[in-house]
A and B are shown apart, each in its own frame.
Chain A
Amino acid sequence: MEQLVKVTGIAAPLLRINIDTDQIIPGKEIMRGSREGYGPGLFGYWRYIEDRTPNPDFILNQEPWKHATILLADRNFGCGSSREPAPKSLRGFGFRAVIAPSFGGIFFNNSFRNGLLPVELPIEQVRLIAEQMEASRGNARVTVDLENQTVTAPHGEVFAFKTPALLRRMLLEGLDEIAVTLTMGPQIEAYRGKDAAKRPWVYRPGAG
């Protein structure tokens, strides 16, 4: 897992509700990205007019927003499909964090495993950060600090957020999640032995 402790950078506002993972990376871009990498497929239908011709009206095609490392969005960001290329494409573009009032649950889990931190803040705080960024024409900076679980807005306001402990530790330390779980091998085997006596059908599909 790619490590993330703290990121300071441009926060680009894309304050739309229900940005689904089909918008984050369309299916066709997943196919293409499976060979070429997912970054270029990010927001494919919004970012390009036709086959990879940049849409000049889209914020992430504009200076200085195209250098953003933090994305600001409205509620239910990443709803819909489980596609892991969604956080991969955000990370591939250069994002390290997304700040929104709420996230689709599968996207939330996938993000941590791709070095991308989903940060939940109330919409009023997201809007305040967006307004300060817009007022600066993208020249201000926002800091997301995972260790202290705080976001510092351009004008210095500090907002606290929470992340699940296990996922936070994995991202802070860049741990190999599978290696961590495998250290619990004896506990897993003990569970399986006990459960197989109670629910044998689980362990031998179709057995009679």
Chain B
Amino acid sequence: MSNPRTFFEKVWSDHVIADLGENTALLSIDRLFLHEMSGSVAVRQLEASGRPPAHPEQVFTVIDHVIDTLPGRGDEDSARAEGVDMIRAARRGSRKYGFNFFDVHDRRQGIVHVISPELGIALPGLTLVCGDSHTCTVGGVGALAWGIGSTEGEHVLATQTLPQVRPQTMRVNFEGALPPGVYAKDMILALIGKIGANGGIGCAVEFAGSAIRSMPVEGRLTICNMAIEFSAKYGFVPPDETTIAYLAGREFAPKGNIWDDAVRFWRGLPSDPGAVFDKEVTIDCSVIGPQVTWGTSPQQVGTIDSRIPDPASEPDPAIRCLLERALDYIQLTPGTQLAGIPIDVAYIGSCTNARISDLRIAAGIVKGRRIAPGITGLCIPGSTQVKAAAEAEGLDKIFKDAGFEWHESGCALCGHMGNDRLENQRVISTTNRNFESRQGPRTRTHLASPATVAASALAGCIADARKLVN
């Protein structure tokens, strides 16, 4: 091949409407997803401008961010009055403009990045944007997807385009077989531990290698979800037969002859042999163990049987200061082993790890057991469809019998939007951010896989699930 191109280069150039100079292009945007928190702002700004939406049929809205997840919720229940404003504004605007709208009680409702591939809204080679940094999640089905602000959202509403500076390209090769009891979440946390929370800054990241090719779509979504946690705006797995099989028959995926044409097109999207990336990283998956964060950035992570490092041994004063701040916040001392740290709450949920495969893994561990006395267990399915599928399999009963709360779908307590339930608690969580007060005032979050969270709920402390799985 004379000019081998990466997946990213193909998809980017497919969407360039105009070259705006100095590495900037006006891109066509195939899908805009709105949610009530940032999307309501974009809609209000559009209304105030008096401009109509350019292509409402390419716009989708869901209520997920600030809606309550307690069983029996009403369609405006939110921890704060401002949340009600947001829900109402998103609902009113979406109906007025004729967007594809999934309201609270719609069976298709769920966390935006969970339903986007689940409903076939995200597709290979599409540009998809949403006012949420974890939009990169849906790169797991081969979309070029990234998070934007509300004003960029208004721009997309008004024009179905967005000017963007072209990023550099990076490929992460996950090679080798994962050991038993180690999952996609551990892979991505291990990567971030290695390259740092700014390791992908300015990059569009392709995830490749044998461990990715053999991974089901749901694991790929988990990996891509956390691209933004090493400051890569875009993360993706180019489409393959696994992707195509996953998307077939989904509501907003193409049908019939158009499906056949789409599949032919998608098969041409993966990076050509010999395509060159600006950066490459390789991770040996065969040596990864369960990962748990111990600080206030996803880069502050270690294998579950490792010990918290001593800031005093860090030569760079800026990094030493960062470590000291993190340990002061998280209330742990250097040398402490991660396994064994007592927890208050075990949290299963979020766009990272609340799909049906995640719930199956966690349920397999807690089945027939009880969570430790005094521990709060929360399970928040990633979508209403995931919840229904879990209930059809009896997973809800397994979680409830073990002592977990079983919630409606939504973003819930992954980010603190006014519900103080996790205030001052130490939480082991399947989510993606362990920032200071991310889940509530002074909440100390430890990120881990669903298996580790489930095992920790049973033990009452951070615990190695491999010791519970036969």
Asked whether any CB of chain A lies closer than 8 Å to the CB of B312, the reply is no
A166 to B24, CA, bound (A): 7
Query: Is B17 a contact of A75 with CB atoms below 8 Å?
Result: no
Contact of B85 among A17, A34, A178, A198 (CB under 8 A): A34
CB of B18 within 8 Å of the partner chain: yes
B26 contact from A22, A82, A181, A203, Cβ within 8 A: A181
A27 close to B (CB within 8 Å): yes
Distance in angstroms from A122 CB to nearest chain B CB is: 13
Q: Would you give the shortest CB distance from A166 to chain B, in whole angstroms?
A: 5
**Using Cβ atoms and an 8 Å threshold, which residues of chain B touch A30?**
37, 417
Nearest chain A CB to B253 CB, angstrom units: 7
Q: Are B197's CB and A76's CB within 8 A?
A: yes
Q: A181-B155, A184-B17, A206-B120 are in contact. Are A45 and B150 (CB under 8 A)?
A: no
B280 contacts chain A at the CB level, 8 A cutoff: no
B426 part of interface (Cβ distance < 8 Å): no
Interchain CB contact under 8 A, A28 and B418: yes
In the complex, the answer to whether B85 meets A35 with C-beta atoms within 8 Å is yes
- A residues 173-208 near B (Cβ < 8 Å) are 177-178, 181-182, 184, 187-188, 191-192, 195, 198-208
Residue B218, interface by CB 8 Å: no
The answer on a CB contact under 8 Å between B256 and A18 is no
Stretch at the interface among B157-165, B271-279, B373-381: B157-165
Q: Which of A60-68, A102-110, A141-149 contacts B (4 or more CB under 8 A)?
A: A102-110
Q: Which positions 28-42 of chain B face chain A at CB distance < 8 Å?
A: 28, 30-31, 37-38, 41
Does B340 interact with chain A (Cβ within 8 Å)?
Answer: no
Of B149, B262, B436, B438, which contacts A201 at CB under 8 A?
B262
A109/B253 contact (C-beta < 8 A), A34-B82, A166-B24 known: no
| CB pair A82 B100 closer than 8 Å | no
**Which one of A84, A104, A165, A208 contacts B255 once the chains associate, using CB atoms below 8 Å?**
A208
- Chain B, residues 125-165, CB within 8 Å of chain A (1/0): the string is 11000011101000000000011111110110011110101
A178 to B251, CA, bound (A): 32
The B-contacting residues of A in range 60-86, CB under 8 angstroms, are 74-76, 79-84
Shortest Cβ distance from residue A51 to the other chain B in the assembled complex, whole angstroms: 10
Q: Are A166 and B152 in contact (CB under 8 A)?
A: no
Which residues of chain A are within 8 angstroms of B198 by Cβ–Cβ distance? 18, 75-76, 79, 102
Stretch at the interface among B317-325, B364-372, B389-397, B400-408: B317-325
Contact partner, B418, options A31, A184, A201, A202, Cβ 8 Å:
A31
B112 to chain A, nearest CB (A): 12
Q: Which residues of A contact B322 (CB under 8 A)?
A: 16-18
Q: Which of B28, B149, B325, B435 contacts A109 (CB 8 A)?
A: B149
Tell whether A15 is near chain B: CB-to-CB under 8 Å: yes
A206, B255: Cβ atoms under 8 Å? Answer: yes
Tell me which of B165, B254, B435 contacts A206 (CB under 8 A): B254
Write the nearest CB–CB distance from B86 to chain A, whole angstroms: 7
**Chain A residue at minimum C-beta to C-beta distance from B120:** A206
Q: Is A114 close to B, CB under 8 A?
A: yes
CA distance A165 to B24 in the complex (A): 8
Nearest CB in chain A to that of B203: its residue: A105
Q: Inside 8 A of B457's CB, which chain A residues have their CB?
A: none
Cα(A104)–Cα(B258), bound, Å = 38
A105 neighbours in B (Cβ, 8 Å): 167, 201-202, 231, 233
Q: Which residues of A contact B202 (CB under 8 A)?
A: 102, 105
- A157 CB to closest chain B CB (Å) equals 21
From residue B230, how far is it (CB to closest CB) to chain A in Å?
A: 9
Instruction: Give the chain A neighbours of B30 by CB distance below 8 A.
Output: 202
Contact A31-B82, Cβ < 8 Å, known A22-B437, A188-B17:
yes
A201 vs B257: C-alpha distance when bound (angstroms): 10
Please tell me if A8 contacts chain B, counting CB pairs below 8 Å.
Answer: no
Q: Does B80 contact A (CB under 8 A)?
A: yes
| Residue B2 interfacial (CB < 8 Å) | no
**Cβ 8 A contact of B133, one of A106, A200, A202, A208:** A106
14 additional contacts, CB 8 Å, given A110-B151, A202-B126? A15-B318, A20-B297, A22-B415, A22-B433, A76-B197, A81-B415, A84-B149, A104-B231, A164-B165, A178-B158, A184-B17, A192-B28, A206-B255, A207-B258
Between A and B, 21 residue pairs with Cβ closer than 8 Å are A16-B321, A16-B322, A22-B436, A31-B417, A34-B85, A76-B198, A76-B231, A80-B133, A80-B435, A84-B150, A113-B149, A164-B165, A177-B155, A181-B26, A184-B17, A187-B17, A199-B265, A205-B121, A207-B258, A208-B255, A208-B259
Point out residues on B near A: beta carbons under 8 Å.
14, 17-18, 20-24, 26, 28, 30-31, 37-38, 41, 49, 51, 57-58, 66, 80, 82-83, 85-86, 100, 120-121, 123, 125-126, 131-133, 135, 146-152, 154-155, 158-161, 163, 165, 167, 197-198, 201-202, 228, 231, 233, 251-259, 261-262, 265, 297, 299, 318-319, 321-322, 325, 415-418, 433, 435-438, 441
